[in-house]
Amino acid sequence: MFMKSGKMLVFALLMTVFPTLARENGERWNDTDGNLINAHGGGVMYHDGRYWWYGEHRPDKGGTTQVGVTCYSSDNLQDWKYEGVALPVVEGDPMGVEPGCIVERPKVIYNASTGKYVMWFHHELKGQGYAAARAAVAVADSPAGPFRMISSSRVNPGKSPRNLAITSSTPEYDKDREWWTPEWREDVEAGMFVRRDLEGGQMSRDMTLFVDDDGKAYHIYSSEENLTLHIAELNDDYTDHSGKYIRIFPGGHNEAPAVFKKGGKYWMIASGCTGWEPNEARLMTSDSIMGEWTRLQNPCKGEMAEKTFMGQSTYVLPVEGKDGSFIAIFDRWNPKSLSDSRYLWLPVSFDDDGTPEIHWADSF
């Protein structure tokens, strides 16, 4: 009896000191107040000894945004304290960040020269489905916000990419686009949609941000009707584009990009375009962020790897203080109730050639 109650006492004490011992991938994750973490399609920023997780607040029913971008913070990546709504949608917002619009895949980076936290996200206007295809920017003086909207627009109006006419560097993946005629594919590769959108700016849907070692930041987004990814350099304060951008994998149909760097190599994990349904993840690499990218095989290994463990990439987080250590973050969407979509946080390992691999793990 004593043993039993003694053990229970130790357990109770441990739970007080370490409220969460591990996170079960794909289960419900609660914050330190015991409420469901509602931060989907998110990104995590490390700043001054704390991790800050930003994500889409999703309603129980429906696919539009009713609340905004939520924020949670942690010093151990396990216990997440709810920090509130960092960017609320507001009725009558002049830029259209209002209830009923769509806010997706928010990412926040810190700009050391201005001392501001800069949020970028995919923004769709109320009642227009996914037609607006905008990138929106908001800034704050502290990580939890409140973030103030700066802009919501298409990308780089009037500017041509550095590499307008490129051919796919991965013809072996033509199986993904069997239904195209060769002429259609040639037109896409030759930049038909870039030309169409030149004046008003390029489409921007699924997106991420990446800050390089030299402090330059990049916006990576699905453009050209989700057919082609773009990588656009940001200006020095990270609040706008510099005008320099490239196209990669024209006609490759990539969504959900997540970029990281190890040993001088750039890596990208992305998904195909199948709405909320999972598909096979893709891995891409380059020696230079604005250089030539090559597509490799699926980085996920093992059972359900061909469906990305029923998830979709959103971010790859470098672990602070553990050089070369990364966590790949995925959403397991539940389109019937998006608020109940789950999180998969999986360690990134590297094979003998240094190529990233992702294996399933029950807990994080």
Nearer to ligand DGJ among residue 110 and residue 276 (C-beta): 276
Binding of residue 255 to ligand DGJ (CB under 6 A): yes
Nearer to ligand DGJ among residue 198 and residue 310 (C-beta): 310
Write the CB contacts of 84 (distance below 8 Å, at least 6 apart in sequence): 70, 71, 144, 145
Binding of residue 270 to ligand DGJ (CB under 6 A): no
CB of 56 to ligand DGJ, least distance (A): 8
Nearer to ligand DGJ among residue 222 and residue 286 (C-beta): 222
Binding of residue 276 to ligand DGJ (CB under 6 A): yes
What distance in Å separates the CA atoms of residue 185 and residue 177, rounded to the nearest whole number? Answer: 9
- With CB under 6 A as the contact rule, the residue among 31, 83, 104, 176 that binds ligand DGJ is 104
CB of 87 to ligand DGJ, least distance (A): 17
For residues 55 to 94, the per-residue mask of contacts with ligand DGJ, x marking binding by CB under 6 A and - elsewhere, is: ----------------------------------------
- With CB under 6 A as the contact rule, the residue among 41, 252, 257, 272 that binds ligand DGJ is 41
CB of 312 to ligand DGJ, least distance (A): 6
- Of 294, 250, 271, the C-alpha closest to 161 is 250
CB nearest ligand DGJ: which residue? 275
Bridge partners, residue 285, by sequence:
267, 294
The full DSSP string for 248-287 is ESTT---EEEEEEEETTEEEEEEE---TTS----EEEEES
CB of 6 to ligand DGJ, least distance (A): 49
- Of 284, 318, 283, 317, the C-alpha closest to 301 is 283
The full DSSP string for 310-363 is G-EEEEEEEPTTSTT-EEEEEEE--TTSGGG-EEEEEEEEE-TTS-EEEE--SB
What distance in Å separates the CA atoms of residue 69 and residue 334, rounded to the nearest whole number? Answer: 18
CB of 273 to ligand DGJ, least distance (A): 7
Nearer to ligand DGJ among residue 156 and residue 254 (C-beta): 254
Q: Which two tokens stand for residue 283?
A: 């891995």
* Binding site residues, ligand DGJ, CB under 6 A: 41, 104-105, 206, 255-256, 275-276, 312
